[in-house]
Homo-oligomer: A and B are copies of this chain.
């Protein structure tokens, strides 16, 4: 089968490998049909590492994927060959303290697809996964939409962590795939007014299509003041998705007393500073989110019911042999790219 590998900085190569065998009774052999390019994939592509997670070349990659069941192990119920599935890329142990406490997203033995030293990446024609990681999709959901299930489930998890009560006042700072996922999920979670900022004007337009009520350029002087003028009592909830430390300060200024800041963006420098007097007087809450838990099935259902409009996010498609182009496009924020999807179905 055809498999993609990182082989150096900004280097991606496709090579042949033997197909994996279904080797666990609770497992599924999947044909991978589509893989989405995530910002974290591009981080590895460009820099070879994220924080202290360092690639060893060659390395497989990718975790946003959809596929078709080829074979199921004897202990599997609910899945059959030919079923089309969305994939949860986090393979968890089910036995550690975190899993047993209902927090598998911080499983002590977590194997994430395409993370260095963890599980094989998704950009391969076939992969074996535990059945519990595969979520059947109905006919009304395409394999391409199913690629969005992972980032959207991260968005829904962030929204659940934030706990929206209608009619909420919300800001989303940063309109990349995760910021937009949060916007879409916030809108299905409760009646809310969403203020959104981004540096790229074309992303503001996508945000409008995704339902944002107010868009402002993060480059503009006074964008925070403009929001505050609309909402003099302050916002209930801010999702910081840009990773820009300046936005974290803006977020605190925007919040009403008792408000919540959900930190989603990943800053370049690990240390960020906060004004503790502001936080304390307003009794703010800061929440961090680590991927997701329990949100894949709801997202499949929300897409199937047409409650989440995935169209504005699916901007580009590439066959497997042009995967490098997809990475360069996403890295350069070019052509209004939100999500580039790699199509493995014609791989040979």
Contact A75 B289 (CB under 8 A): no
Question: C-beta contact mask, A91-105 vs B, less than 8 Å → 1, else 0?
Answer: 001111110111101
Choose among B24, B101, B191, B307 the residue that contacts A189 (Cβ–Cβ < 8 A).
B191
Contact A188 B190 (CB under 8 A): yes
Task: Determine whether A281 belongs to the interface, using a CB cutoff of 8 Å to chain B.
Answer: yes
Contact B280 A271 (CB under 8 A): no
Say how many copies of this protein the assembly contains. 4
A166 to chain B: closest residue by CB = B188
26 pairs from A and B in contact (CB 8 Å cutoff): A24-B25, A77-B109, A94-B94, A97-B297, A98-B258, A101-B297, A103-B283, A106-B258, A106-B283, A167-B307, A188-B190, A189-B190, A191-B302, A193-B305, A257-B290, A263-B279, A263-B280, A267-B276, A271-B274, A272-B273, A272-B274, A280-B288, A282-B288, A283-B290, A285-B285, A285-B288
A287 to chain B: closest residue by CB = B285
Total chain A interface residues with beta-carbon distance under 8 A: 67
Task: Determine whether A124 belongs to the interface, using a CB cutoff of 8 Å to chain B.
Answer: no
Cα distance A289–B16 in the bound complex, in angstroms: 54
Q: In angstroms, how far is the closest chain B Cβ from the Cβ of A248?
A: 9
Choose among B78, B95, B131, B289 the residue that contacts A78 (Cβ–Cβ < 8 A).
B95
Contact A103 B287 (CB under 8 A): no
Contact A188 B188 (CB under 8 A): no
Contact B233 A97 (CB under 8 A): yes
Choose among B98, B109, B270 the residue that contacts A257 (Cβ–Cβ < 8 A).
B98
Contact A273 B275 (CB under 8 A): no
- Interface set of A (CB-CB < 8 Å, partner B): 24-26, 51, 75-78, 93-98, 100-103, 105-106, 109, 131-132, 160, 165-167, 188-191, 193, 233, 256-258, 263, 266-267, 270-290, 294, 297-298, 301-302, 305, 307
Name the residue in A103, A105, A280, A305 with the highest tally of chain B Cβ atoms < 10 Å from its Cβ: A280
Contact A101 B258 (CB under 8 A): yes
Choose among B95, B258, B274 the residue that contacts A131 (Cβ–Cβ < 8 A).
B95
Contacts of A302 in B (CB 8 A): 166-167, 191
A93 to chain B: closest residue by CB = B77
